[in-house]
C-alpha cells in the first residue's frame, strides 16, 4: 500500500498539489472488511470532501451509493460500464470516472503463464474470496481457459485466515499441480501467509500482483497497480482544479507486469525477482 499511496501523491504532484501544503488528504481504511465501506463512504460525504478517491471495485460501489454529487475517482478491476459505475468509457456521465486495470480480463493469461512455468499441470486448484464481486467473472474466465488447456479445476473459498489454513490443509492431501489465487484485497493483506504456505508445501501458484512475488510467491501477472494509483492522483488533482468527472474519460491500463522469482526461497523474505513490464496499448492514457 505504501507504493500505491506514493504513486497517488505523485499523480497529485503532477498537476500541482502537494499533500499538507496545498491539499489535505483524509484516509479511511476498511482493512479488507467490505461491510465497513458504506459507513466510511458516508463519513467522507458528511465532511464534505471535494473529491473521493477509491481503489477497488467494492469501495467504488460504496462511494457511488453514498453520493450523486461529490466527484469520485476510482481504480477498478472490472469493466465499469458493465458494473454500472459509468455510462460509457468515453463519456462517463454522473459523478464518477477513473481507471480500469483489467484484473478479471487477465485471469486467463495468468493461468497460461503458470502452465508455461509448470508444463506438467493437469489438476488446478483455484482459491477465491466468495464475497468479492470479481469472483464470478474470474471463475468463468479461469474455468473457460482451463477447459481449453485440458485442465481439471477444483474451486476453494476463503474469507479468513483460518479458512486459508484449512484450504491448504486440503491441498496438502490432494496435491494439485498448481494453484491460481484470485485477486482480492483480503488476500493481498494475507499475502505473506499465502506465499509462505505455497513455498512450505511446494505448490506452484500464480498471483495477480507483484507484491506476492516480492514476498516469496512463484509468479505474478497483472496490471501495474501503482501506475493506476498515479492516474487516480492525476484525475483527483484535475477535479480539484475545476474539471468534472463527466469531462474525464475512463482510462484503461496499458502497463502489465510479469514478475517471476529468480530463486527458490524457503522463507517469507523478499526474493530476487525477474521483472518484465509490458506496455500494451489498450486505450488512450492521460498523462
pLDDT tens-place string over residues 56-105: 888 999 999 999 999 999 999 888 998 899 999 999 999 999 999 877 77
**Residue from 136, 163, 271 nearest 210 by CA:** 271
* Structure confidence at residue 67 (pLDDT): 97
- Decide the pairing of beta strands 123-128 and 96-100: unpaired
Task: Give percent above pLDDT 70 in the chain.
Answer: 91
Task: Report the alpha-carbon distance of residue 246 to residue 147 in Å, rounded.
Answer: 41
Where does residue 277 fall: left (phi above 0), alpha (psi -120 to 50 degrees), or beta otherwise? beta
**Residue from 41, 44, 43, 38 nearest 25 by CA:** 44
Q: Are 69 and 80 in contact (CB under 8 A)?
A: no
Task: Report the alpha-carbon distance of residue 184 to residue 131 in Å, rounded.
Answer: 10
Band of the pLDDT at 271, cuts 50, 70, 90? very low
Q: Are 203 and 264 in contact (CB under 8 A)?
A: no
* Structure confidence at residue 11 (pLDDT): 97
Stretch 214-235: mean pLDDT, rounded? Answer: 93
* Structure confidence at residue 133 (pLDDT): 80
- Phi and psi at 159, nearest 5°, equal -135, 10
pLDDT at 205 > cutoff 80: yes
Q: CB under 8 Å to 247, separation ≥6 — which residues?
A: none
Q: Which three cell numbers stand for residue 283?
A: 486505450
Domains of the chain, with CATH numbers? 2-101+224-253 (3.40.50.2300), 107-222+257-279 (3.40.50.2300)
Q: Sign of dihedral through CA atoms 176, 180, 186, 189?
A: positive
Q: How far apart are the first and last CA of the chain?
A: 22
pLDDT at 268 > cutoff 70: no
pLDDT at 265 > cutoff 70: no
Q: What's the whole-model pTM score?
A: 0.79
Task: Report the alpha-carbon distance of residue 177 to residue 32 in Å, rounded.
Answer: 29
Q: Are 228 and 99 in contact (CB under 8 A)?
A: yes
* Structure confidence at residue 263 (pLDDT): 60
* Structure confidence at residue 282 (pLDDT): 32
Q: Concatenate the DSSP letters of all residues of 218-236 into one string.
A: SEEEEE-HHHHHHHHHHHH
Average pLDDT of the chain? 88
**Residue from 242, 226, 231, 227 nearest 51 by CA:** 242
Amino acid at each position: 500500500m505504501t507504493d500505491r499511496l506514493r504513486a497517488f501523491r505523485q499523480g497529485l504532484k503532477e498537476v500541482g498539489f502537494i499533500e499538507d501544503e496545498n491539499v489535505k488528504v483524509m484516509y479511511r481504511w476498511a482493512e479488507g472488511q467490505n461491510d465497513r465501506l458504506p459507513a466510511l463512504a458516508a463519513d467522507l460525504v458528511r465532511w464534505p470532501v471535494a473529491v473521493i478517491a477509491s481503489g477497488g471495485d467494492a469501495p467504488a460501489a460504496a462511494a457511488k451509493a453514498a453520493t450523486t454529487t461529490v466527484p469520485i475517482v476510482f481504480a477498478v478491476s472490472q469493466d465499469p460500464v458493465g458494473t454500472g459505475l459509468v455510462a460509457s468509457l468515453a463519456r462517463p456521465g454522473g459523478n464518477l470516472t477513473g481507471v480500469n486495470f483489467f484484473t478479471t480480463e487477465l485471469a486467463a493469461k495468468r493461468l497460461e503463464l503458470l502452465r508455461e512455468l509448470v508444463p506438467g499441470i493437469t489438476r488446478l486448484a483455484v482459491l477465491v474470496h466468495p464475497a468479492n464481486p470479481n469472483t464470478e467473472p474470474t471463475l468463468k474466465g479461469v474455468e473457460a481457459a482451463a477447459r481449453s488447456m485440458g485442465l481439471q479445476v477444483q474451486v476453494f473459498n476463503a474469507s479468513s485466515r483460518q479458512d486459508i489454513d484449512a484450504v491448504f490443509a486440503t491441498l496438502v492431501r490432494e496435491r494439485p499441480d498448481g494453484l491460481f489465487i484470485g485477486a482480492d484485497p483480503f488476500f493481498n493483506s494475507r499475502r505473506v501467509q499465502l506465499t509462505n504456505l505455497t513455498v512450505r508445501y511446494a505448490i506452484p501458484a500464480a498471483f495477480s500482483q507483484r507484491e506476492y512475488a516480492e514476498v516469496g510467491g512463484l509468479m505474478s501477472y497483472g496490471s501495474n497497480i501503482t501506475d493506476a494509483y498515479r492516474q487516480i492522483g492525476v484525475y483527483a488533482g484535475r477535479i480539484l482544479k475545476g474539471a468534472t468527472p463527466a469531462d474525464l474519460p475512463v482510462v484503461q491500463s496499458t502497463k502489465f507486469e510479469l514478475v517471476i522469482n529468480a530463486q527458490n526461497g524457503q522463507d517469507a523474505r523478499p526474493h530476487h525477482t525477474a521483472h518484465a513490464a509490458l506496455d500494451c496499448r489498450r486505450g488512450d492514457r492521460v498523462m
